[in-house]
């Protein structure tokens, strides 16, 4: 698996490096994402999420 590092600019804490791959995304990129239902209606946004320690499922 190849890891690629991207850097995001954040006003609060400057440059933050994130290790990501084509199949993985950093949790802080998911948090704050707007969520819509199948009809395109806004449901809210992701504040946090939990990952199963053994299964790895969200």
Q: Is the pTM of this model over 0.75?
A: no
Q: How much is the pLDDT for 18?
A: 57
Nearest to 34 by CA among 19, 24, 48, 44: 44
**What token pair was written down for 28?**
């802080």
Q: What is the pLDDT along the chain (58 residues), one digit of tens a residue?
A: 444 444 444 444 444 445 677 778 888 888 999 999 999 999 999 998 888 899 888 8
Output the CA torsion sign for 24, 20, 6, 31.
positive
- Of all helices (H) and strands (E), which one includes residue 9? strand 4-10
pLDDT given at position 20: 73
Give the E-state strand segments of 1-58 in sequence order.
Answer: 4-10, 14-20, 34-36, 42-45
């Amino acid at each position: 698996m190849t890891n690629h590092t991207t850097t995001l600019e954040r006003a609060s804490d400057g440059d933050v490096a994130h290790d990501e791959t084509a199949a993985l995304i950093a949790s802080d990129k998911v948090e704050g994402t707007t969520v819509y239902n199948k009809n395109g209606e806004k449901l809210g946004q992701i504040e946090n999420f939990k990952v199963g320690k053994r299964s790895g499922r969200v």
